[in-house]
């Protein structure tokens, strides 16, 4: 068993941790110097040396580690992780039973009791994503716990931390079991996605947008001309086409988006004739659309929270209003704008403020039809609601 290191919590944060707040922010602890190795188990004590919580040390942008337990006698071992994993699987019972959807999240970090790691399910295969060296140091126990709790075809992993030259022996995304076909075809509400578990940082689909895609297909797309900006592999376009869109136009800067988007259309038996795929900077495409007086009945806008292209950098927090104004100008009166962001550094209220401002500046009226945040499988900790980063608003452009 590992040595556990004692750290003293500042008095202001004791109650917060006791109440179930899971993140260990740098400011919570006066003196971090006792702990040097990521993956160390730490006991958080108050000034009088009373036990408050147990967690691990792991450096992420958001903080220095995560609380794992409020019980002094908790041992952080395979058995501990097993309980968390079993509970997480149980929580997704309905997803496992749904034959129309075979891709979803089964473990969502602190939402399922262990911050810094997520597990996604892709039709029998499991993809682990590690967000710090700290959790990666604990991975043997966590993986063992998983293998003892779950039947699987194969296991893959992504490392979302700076490896600093460590772990070079272990550069493979495939961990064990059977290798998945490439592409692996998974289902989402009856549609099909091609995913690649071992082809770079992203697998081809963002599972957190499942409900938004369904809404686009089932409630909005029929007979519409649809523009999908920052389209990646065209997942929104596929659902729009399946929902009866007159045409779709998918715009993304990345060259790979062209073959990837074609592939998603093709495996869903969608006629490519009415689907345009444009490899271009979205901001240049807006200029082109204005020049050509193009207007769309529905525009989906889901930019990365931060991106650098040749011409400029985009930051959702700073530039979303400007982006929306461009979108509004190429949307038909009565048309729908699906405004989405995964930026964790501002709230839904702030986002709604951006929408207000963009329309007000253009002196155009609008109506918010509905909004979405993370779906149920992306479980959020009760005391850490701010980790629900997804904000999607369906807006009708009036006059
Ligand atoms: N909406 C997509 C996910 C978008 S991921 C979906 O739901 O599947 C962000 C995408 O934006 C990436 O594919 C990236 O290539 C693209 N991107 C980033 N900056 C861009 C720009 N200036 N113009 C066009 N695409 C851009």
User: Could you report the per-residue pLDDT of 170-215, keeping only the tens digit for each?
Assistant: 678 999 999 999 999 999 999 999 999 999 899 999 999 999 999 9
Residue identified by tokens 């409020």 is 70
CATH 2.30.130.10 fits 4-69, yes or no: yes
Q: Note the pLDDT tens digit of each residue in 83-113.
A: 999 999 999 999 999 999 999 999 999 999 9
| Sheet containing 117-122: order of strands | 103-108, 117-122, 125-130, 154-159, 174-177
- Residue 291: exposure state from Cβ atoms within 10 A (0-12, 13-18, ≥19): exposed
- Nearest residue to 39 via CA among 145, 147, 130, 157: 130
**231 CA distance to ligand 1 middle (Å):** 5
145 in Cβ contact with 134 (< 8 Å): no
Domain 78-187: assigned CATH number:
3.30.750.80
Please check the confidence at residue 165 and state whether its pLDDT lies above 90: no
Query: For all residues of the chain together, what is the average pLDDT?
Result: 96
What percent of the chain is predicted at pLDDT more than 70? 99
Can you give the residue ranges of every domain in the chain? 4-69, 78-187, 206-397
Q: Which of 124-138, 166-180, 363-377 has the lowest mean pLDDT?
A: 166-180
Which residues' Cβ are closer than 6 Å to ligand 1?
206, 209, 230-233, 235-236, 251-254, 257, 281-283, 302, 304, 307, 309
Cis peptide before 183 (omega within 30 of 0): yes
- Nearest CA to 146 out of 131, 125, 169 is that of 125
Nearest in space to 343 (alpha carbons), one of 237, 230, 242, 245: 230
Best residue among 214, 252, 255 to mutate for probing ligand 1, ranked by most atoms within 8 Å of CB = 252
Measuring from atom 15 of ligand 1, which residue has the nearest CA? Answer: 254
Give 295 Cα–ligand 1 centroid separation in angstroms. 21
Q: Is the pLDDT of residue 168 over 70?
A: no
* Distance in Å, CA 251 to ligand 1 centroid: 8
pLDDT per residue as tens digits for the range 39-66: 999 999 999 999 999 999 999 999 999 9
Does the domain spanning 206-397 belong to CATH 3.40.50.150? yes
Q: How many angstroms does the Cα of residue 232 sit away from the middle of ligand 1?
A: 5
Residue 313 Cα to ligand 1 midpoint, Å, equals 13
Task: Name the nearest CA neighbour of 156 among 186, 200, 207.
Answer: 200
**Centre of ligand 1 from the C-alpha of residue 266, in Å:** 21
Q: Give nearest CA residue, ligand 1 atom 16.
A: 230
């Amino acid at each position: 068993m590992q040595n556990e290191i004692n750290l003293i919590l500042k008095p202001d944060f004791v109650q917060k941790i006791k109440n179930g707040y899971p993140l260990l922010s740098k400011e919570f602890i006066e003196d971090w110097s006792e702990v040097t190795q990521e993956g160390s188990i730490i006991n958080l004590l108050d000034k009088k040396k009373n036990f408050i919580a147990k967690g691990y040390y792991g450096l992420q942008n958001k903080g220095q580690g995560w609380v794992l337990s409020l019980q002094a006698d908790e041992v952080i071992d395979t058995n501990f992780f097993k309980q968390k994993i079993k509970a997480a699987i149980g929580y997704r019972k309905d997803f496992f039973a749904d034959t129309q959807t075979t891709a979803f999240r089964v473990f969502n970090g602190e939402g399922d009791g262990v911050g810094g790691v997520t597990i996604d399910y892709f039709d029998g295969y499991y993809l682990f994503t590690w967000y710090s060296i700290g959790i990666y140091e604990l991975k043997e126990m966590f993986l063992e716990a998983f293998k003892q709790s779950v039947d699987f075809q194969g296991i893959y992993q992504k490392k979302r931390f700076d490896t600093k030259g460590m772990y070079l022996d272990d550069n493979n995304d495939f961990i064990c079991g059977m290798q998945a076909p490439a592409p692996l075809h998974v289902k989402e509400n009856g549609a099909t996605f091609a995913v690649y578990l071992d082809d770079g940082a992203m697998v081809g689909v963002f599972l957190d947008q499942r409900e938004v895609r369904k809404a686009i297909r089932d409630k909005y797309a029929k007979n519409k001309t649809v523009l999908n900006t920052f389209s990646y592999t065209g997942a929104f376009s596929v659902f729009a086409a399946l929902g009866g869109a007159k045409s779709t136009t998918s715009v993304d800067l990345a060259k790979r988006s062209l073959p990837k988007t074609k592939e998603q259309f093709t495996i869903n038996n969608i006629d490519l004739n009415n689907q345009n795929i444009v490899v271009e900077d979205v901001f240049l495409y807006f200029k082109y659309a204005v020049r050509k007086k193009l207007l769309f009945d529905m525009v989906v806008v889901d930019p990365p929270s931060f991106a650098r292209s040749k011409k400029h950098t985009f930051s959702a927090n700073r530039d979303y209003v400007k982006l929306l104004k461009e979108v509004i100008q190429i949307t038909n009166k009565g048309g729908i704008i699906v405004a989405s962001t995964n930026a964790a550094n501002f709230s839904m209220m702030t986002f709604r403020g951006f929408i207000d401002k963009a329309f007000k500046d253009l002196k155009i009226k609008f109506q918010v039809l509905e909004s979405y945040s993370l779906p149920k499988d992306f479980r959020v900790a009760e005391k850490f609601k701010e980790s629900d980063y997804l904000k999607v608003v369906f807006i009708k452009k009036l006059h």
